Structure 1
Amino acid sequence: MTQTQWSAVRDVHVPDEVERLLLTVPEWFGRPQSNAEYVDAARSMETWTVRNDTGQVIGVTLISHHFRRSSEVHFTVVDRSAHGTGVGTAMLQSICADLRQRGAKLLQVKTLGPSHPDLNYGRTRYFYEKMGFIPLEETDLWGERTPCLIMVKTLE
């Protein structure tokens, strides 16, 4: 699947779509308990989606707002068939533009840290860096065997 111009919108809650999308990328989302938490979060968190030309959701990002001027990418998933086509980029660009309009100054994301050898998350970190996120700190927030990398992006 290739598309040159995707459109991302703030959307209704789509927990069933999140559950379906998680199954397309088990190498990133292979923990049933974590997946259940993402599906549950999709019932209430601010939701951004990209849909294909038939209206099917092919990408979802959930956003949380900690303070008026700072927000967090809680979760992003893109259908495997749409990887590399700009779906994730479209979501983050739209989210950043919207957050700027709302007065936010900082966006953060947490992902698996580089001290863990998982190559898939190397691709994830590369994507976020390409989108302007800067690695801030690697912590043991998720436990000693699951290093958490906090990345930040200014929205000004």
Structure 2
Amino acid sequence: MPHRVKNGRTVNGLDELRKLAGSDLGTSDWITVTQDRIDGFADATDDHQWIHVDPERAEDGPFGAPIAHGHLTLALFIPLLTQLLDVRGVTTKVNYGLNKVRFPAPVTVGARLRLAARLATVDEVPGGVQLTVDGTMEIEGGTKPACVLQSLSRFLL
């Protein structure tokens, strides 16, 4: 069972989920973006650009340190969302897509991120529902978010 934060909700079935449409889901725990995590993502995606994986060179770069790949920041959305919303009584949970993604601020090594999320809509689809979640990946102490996104997920019976 995934870790739950105090704001997390467990929902039993689609009827309960439908009732949450338009509600704030709260914020997740903070997660630290380490160089090991960045290097692992670089290995998984074959994206070894120096600004991510070469700390010495990145120190002299535009951000003064290595930065996380934007898609790594985006990938952290799902595990952080599972801290906020646990849907039970369905057989399948799938990512359906994204309507919008922006990366307003870089995430430097050692930065801490958390997700603030809102369940914008719950729409009917064949066999279940589609959730639209508005998410903001916040950087601790930052003035701009690391990522702003609108995610689509499907929960099927």
Classify the TM-score, shorter chain.
under 0.3
Between 1 and 2, higher relative CO (CA 8 Å, sep ≥ 6) is seen in 2
Scaled by the length of structure 1, what TM-score is found? 0.24
Structure index of larger Rg? 2
Scaled by the length of structure 2, what TM-score is found? 0.24
* Higher normalized helix content (fraction of residues): 1
* Higher normalized strand content (fraction of residues): 2
